[in-house]
Structure 1
Amino acid sequence: MAFEGLTTRLQNVFSKLKSRGKVSEEEVNEAMREVRLALLEADVNFKVVKDFIAKVKEKAVGQEVLKSFTPAMVIIDIVNKELTELMGGTNVKLAKANKPPTVILMAGLQGAGKTTLTGKLAKLLQSQNHNPLLVAGDIYRPAAIKQLQVLGEQIGAPVFTLGDQVSPVQIAKQGVELAKDQGHDYVLIDTAGRLQIDEALMEEIKQIHAAVDPDEVLLVVDAMTGQEAVNVAQSFHEQLALTGVVLTKLDGDTRGGAALSVKAVTGCPIKFASTGEKIDQIEVFHPERMASRILGMGDMLSLIEKAQANIDADKAAEMERKMRTAEFTLEDFLEQMEQVRKLGPLDQLLDMMPGMGKVKNMQNFKVDEKQISRTEAIVKSMTTAEKRKPEIINFSRRKRIAAGSGTTVADVNRLLRQFEDMKKMMKQFSGMMGPKGPKGGMKALKNMKNMLGKGKGGGGGMKFPF
């Protein structure tokens, strides 16, 4: 995940500050040197790092900070605010034309993911009750038009194309006219990938710009290209007057420098971030939330928004009731897993939870997506009766379930044991939480602690069945 290395480095720096209580100016300077190195290693632009450290130091060595009761927390707060400002301060929304349709022109290098991103953005607009039209303006890459048509079919959005023998300028113009005639309120124009040094293609996209007068010119940038992404953005901005940047592949093993540099260097706000390959894995970019994630503070607002968009509220309420009344079955467990998986990869969800970065770094803690799939296979190999009453699963049934799921009897035994442990913990937790708040207090907490187990990484105690 992007920023993972940076997050770990910054958390180590701030842990040292917290352990010292009061801090001196020299200790602040030492911490800032480590922050500077961490940012440079994350491939953040050198000038951006220099300015960022100068701003933080100026505020962090003030008397009111050094003499405060919690100087480390004040310094973390300063870094958080400066990181937020560095990435743009607040989210910048998509422009909206006074008279529909709003025209969005997609630009970027070859291989940045423009066509996929065009489909993702259309899907996001549909979720906001808009009616987008996709325009296939990339006539040079083999199968680019077909790719956009497949994405359009997938999300139920129309795709306008004139084939690959007509000028992209004409395709864009006629696409916008069709959108006006058919009542589409957004037009997303996919264009061919081009190098900023390719004068002919750069001239072509300028002609498309002049022909359709777009309300938004979004540059799609591959976050994995690091600082080079910022150079690309700067070059395109000089020639096209960009209105925003979209970062793709932000879920990859990237250092994240582009996200921290592009706004400061080009002045163009980051409007969206692509966090995976699936059509719905696109997020509105919120600088304050991204800063919080980078500092390991989580991003509960984004997590809540994902849950509201993907989880059935009635089902969730019924599930909560079953947990409280100890009616929770393996059938319910499977349904809950499927609901959670709709939110995206568990690694990404954990990154949104405050403090989970430290937990993930603990020994023996790793999200194993294959293990989750094995768990699902085991439960799906059970009969309805077995899911509802696991106690009836004898040895012969376990052998059948193992064979049906491609696992071993030991795997089935482990799942059943862990499921029972989880049910006990739920019962203890519901015993603590009554209508008037926590009750049962220390005894319930002690029982829960015993079930969760002792030792590093929770080894030897209860583990969840995935």
Structure 2
Amino acid sequence: MFDQLSGKLKNVFDKLASRGRLTEGDVDDALRGVRLALLEADVALPVIKKFMAEVREQAVGEQVLKAVKPSEQIVKVVHDGLVSVLGEGEELNLRAQPPVVVLMAGLQGSGKTTTTAKLAKRLKEKENKKVLIASLDIYRPAAQKQLGIVGERVGVDSLEIIEGQKPVDITKRALTEAKKNGYDVLMLDTAGRGDLDEELMNELIAVKKTANPTETLLVADGLTGQVAVDIAKAFNEKVGVTGIVLTRMDGDGRGGAALSMREVTGQPIKYLGMGEGLDALSPFAPERLAGRILGMGDIVEMVEKAQAAISEDDAMAMQEKMMSGKFSLADLKKQITTMQKMGSMSDLLGMMPGMSGMKDKIDPSKLDDKQLVRQVAIIDSMTPIERYNPHILNAKRKRRIAEGSGVTVNDVNKLLKSHAQMQTAMKKLKKMGGLGALAGMMGGKMGKKFPGM
């Protein structure tokens, strides 16, 4: 989402770093570059004006200009300014008498129904809450059935559909059901429209009056930029919202919505939708997002994704196999599927500190997630014996595997070569003393992050 903005800011700061000592004029030139980058990212003009005023006051201060590395100090000032603009991350308010009602609102196509299921899943798995979801969308064909289907996929209960009921009546029935059966949270997925019309607002106001929700979350499409900000402002003024969920934040938009939302609406962003998967919903963390925008990565999110994708026992078992040289193609498939659960290769690279600016320099084919899909298909086309004994793969077997997975024999050979190289590297590392030796060569830094190394 922020690749374009990150690239432009990196260019600005690289120029500063090359100058050593800085004058006030140097700082002003750099801040003009920052301002232009924010404008091109579709950040709201009032937000840019306030941001630039605050950042300049700090950046031209004596403490910054006379610092040993003034360019790094200015990066920190900009980072702190971004955090201020983004606002504090606020958790979902569940401090109320159960069932806590969460009202989901938004325009049609913003991802509201999927977000409802994602949040319900998160509340069930992370907060250990018993959740009931109910669709109030009686207009869009099969909308109520859609919520029931995704609810079943994430393992939460959905309200039974009764044809002909109006949204307010469904709300009353959902409240009764949630109270009677001891649900901790009731999530109401309201109907969306193609635009902000009076009928939509009046219906939302009536539902809100009936439900008396603790949280009213607006789901807005992050790819629509300032349109999303305008929609959020209108919803807040007419209905009143307590927080915002920005969806499709893994897309190719310019990121202006996220940077403008809090300042313009006065309401906090609470979650970011980072993909189509039902796990792809992240609590909003402004400091981490600011770090990613400035190319500092987000190692915390990367670790969290890894922990969600693989258990500690599985990770240790995989490490032991790799160190013993018994790393089979079946193990390689497990490793690939774990990576796929963590997100796209491009996203993972962006989370690594200092690597966001490298994405443009890497061959796009190396970051193609379809390559992982093809590799899994190749391994799936092998027999169990072949996966554990790749040395038996002759030309005939390779042709059969290629045909079965829809790839070329050359693709099969590339995978086998990569697997062999991994085994060779691990055997060499084992002779050197394993991962502990590697940690020692790196000054023990890895050992501090990974106990036992």
Provide, for residues 119-141 of structure 1, a one-character-per-residue CA deviation record: whole Å limited to 9, x for no partner: 11111111121111011111111
Provide, for residues 331-378 of structure 1, a one-character-per-residue CA deviation record: whole Å limited to 9, x for no partner: 211111112212222222222111221221114244112221221122
Output the CA distance in 1 between the equivalents of 2:32 and 2:289: 22
- Secondary structure (helix, strand or coil) at the match of 1:278 reads coil
Does residue 114 of the first structure (1) align with residue 112 of the second (2)?
A: yes
Q: How many residues align?
A: 440
In the alignment, what sits opposite 1:341? 340
In the alignment, what sits opposite 1:461? none
AA partner of residue 109 (structure 2): G
Change (3 A) 1:361 1:265: same
AA partner of residue 116 (structure 1): T
- Aligned-residue offset at 1:196: 6.8
- Aligned-residue offset at 1:388: 2.0
Provide, for residues 152-186 of structure 1, a one-character-per-residue CA deviation record: whole Å limited to 9, x for no partner: 22122221145352221121122112101101100
Change (3 A) 1:198 1:181: same
Within 5 Å, which residues of 2 pair with 1:192-211? 192-194=191-193, 197-211=196-210
Output the CA distance in 2 between the equivalents of 1:140 and 1:24: 61
Within 5 Å, which residues of 2 pair with 1:51-450? 51-89=50-88, 91-128=89-126, 129-194=128-193, 197-365=196-364, 366-430=366-430, 434=434, 437-438=437-438
Change (3 A) 1:439 1:259: closer
- Aligned-residue offset at 1:439: 8.1
Provide, for residues 429-450 of structure 1, a one-character-per-residue CA deviation record: whole Å limited to 9, x for no partner: 45556576448959xxxxxxxx
Change (3 A) 1:57 1:436: same
CA contact 2:21–2:70 (8 Å) conserved in 1: yes
Change (3 A) 1:431 1:238: farther
CA contact 1:251–1:275 (8 Å) conserved in 2: yes
CA contact 1:431–1:439 (8 Å) conserved in 2: no
Provide, for residues 292-341 of structure 1, a one-character-per-residue CA deviation record: whole Å limited to 9, x for no partner: 11111111111111221221221110111122222222221111111221
CA contact 1:48–1:265 (8 Å) conserved in 2: yes
AA partner of residue 324 (structure 1): M
AA partner of residue 99 (structure 1): Q
Change (3 A) 1:111 1:441: closer
Change (3 A) 1:179 1:418: same
In the alignment, what sits opposite 1:17? 16
Listed as ranges, the gaps of 5+ residues in structure 2 are 443-453
CA contact 1:431–1:440 (8 Å) conserved in 2: no
Change (3 A) 1:230 1:362: same
Output the CA distance in 1 between the equivalents of 2:194 and 2:377: 46
CA contact 2:96–2:214 (8 Å) conserved in 1: no
- Secondary structure (helix, strand or coil) at the match of 1:253 reads coil
With the length of structure 2 as denominator, give the TM-score of the two structures. Answer: 0.92
Listed as ranges, the gaps of 5+ residues in structure 1 are 443-466
- Secondary structure (helix, strand or coil) at the match of 2:410 reads helix
CA contact 2:144–2:161 (8 Å) conserved in 1: no
- Aligned-residue offset at 1:189: 0.4
With the length of structure 1 as denominator, give the TM-score of the two structures. Answer: 0.90
Output the CA distance in 2 between the equivalents of 1:441 and 1:110: 55
